[in-house]
Amino acid sequence: MTKNIGDNHGSSKITTVKLGDLRVSAGAQREFSDTWGEYLEKNFNLDLVGMLTVSCRDGVYWVIDGQHRTHGLIAWAKREFGDEWSEWTVHVNCHYNLTERAEAALFLAFNNRRTISAYDKFTVGVTADLAVPTDINRVVIAVGLRVDKSRKPGSVSAVSALDYVYRMGDAVLLRKTLQTIRDAWAGMGFDSDVIKGAALVLNRYEGRLDEARLVSKLAAVQSGAKGIRQSAHVIRDSHGAKSDVAHAAAITEAYNRGARGTQSLGSWWKDAA
C-alpha cells in the first residue's frame, strides 16, 4: 500500500499520500451525506476503496473525487491504528497546481456519467465559475437571498427552478420572480413550483401586471405559499395541468381577487387557449 507506483497520466500522477494530509474542498465536491458517511464508517470495505483523485495545491492534498470513501477510510484507519492513523498511506491519482475553480470543473467532468444532485451540480458549477450557475447565484445574492438548504428565511434550495426561470427570461425575470416571493412572504416560500408558477405569471403578463399588486395579493393569501400550493393542487386535479402551470393559475386567481375591468388579468386558461 505504500509503494509509489510513479505512473504518469497526462497532467496527473499516481503517488502515495498520508491520510492525515488529505483535505476535502467543499466548493469542489457534492454536499457530504451524513447518512452515507455513517454507513461507510460501520461497513467499510478496504478492498472497495479504489483510487482517490486529489489535487495538490499550496502543499495540501485536496480530495476531488472520493470524499465519502476518504471519510470511511479515515474512520477505519483510526480503529486500526489509533493515534497513528494519520501516518497511514494510500495511493492517489494526483493533479498538481490546479485552482479550486479547476478542481470543481474536474469534479464535474469525473461525475458526468454518475448520479449527482441538481443542488450539488449547481454549487460546484458556481465554484467552477460556469456562466449560468454563476449568474444565477449573482442574481440570488443581489436580491438579498442565498442558495442554501437550511429552510431559513432568505434561503433558496430549488436550484432546478432557478435554472428554469433563468432560461425562460434571463436574469431580469429571475430577479423579478425572487423579489416577488421574497416581499410577499418575508423571504419564505421558495418551493420549486411556486418559483416556476410566479415566473410563468410574470413572463406572460409582462406590461399588464402590476408587480406591487401581485406582492400585496400574494401576501394576503391565507397560509402564504402553502395556500397557493393547496389551490394549485385543486386546479391541477380539475384541469389535468402540470404542477407549475397549476401554480401559475393559482397565482393569477389570487392577483385577480377584487379586480375589476382592465385591472384583472382574466383567466389563466383563457389566455392559455
Structure confidence at residue 86 (pLDDT) = 87
Higher pLDDT, 158 or 52: 158
Q: Is the pLDDT of residue 3 over 60?
A: no
Angle between helices 118-127 and 100-110 (to 10 degrees): 150
Show me where the domains of the chain are located. 8-115, 130-272
Provide the pLDDT for residue 112. 59
DSSP run (H or E) holding 85: none
CA atoms of 215 and 223, how far apart (whole Å):
14
Q: Residue for cell digits 405559499?
A: 225
CATH class as words, domain 8-115: alpha beta
Handedness of CA 183, 189, 190, 191 (dihedral sign): negative
Mean residue pLDDT across the chain = 84
User: What confidence tens digit (pLDDT) does each residue in 216-251 have?
Assistant: 999 999 999 999 999 999 999 998 899 999 999 999
- Packed helices 192-204 and 243-256: angle between N→C axes, nearest 10 degrees: 60
Q: Phi and psi for 120 in degrees, rounded to 5?
A: -65, -40
pTM for this prediction: 0.63
Pairwise pLDDT comparison (124 vs 273), residue with the higher score? 124
Q: Specify whether the CB–CB gap between 176 and 215 falls below 8 A.
A: no
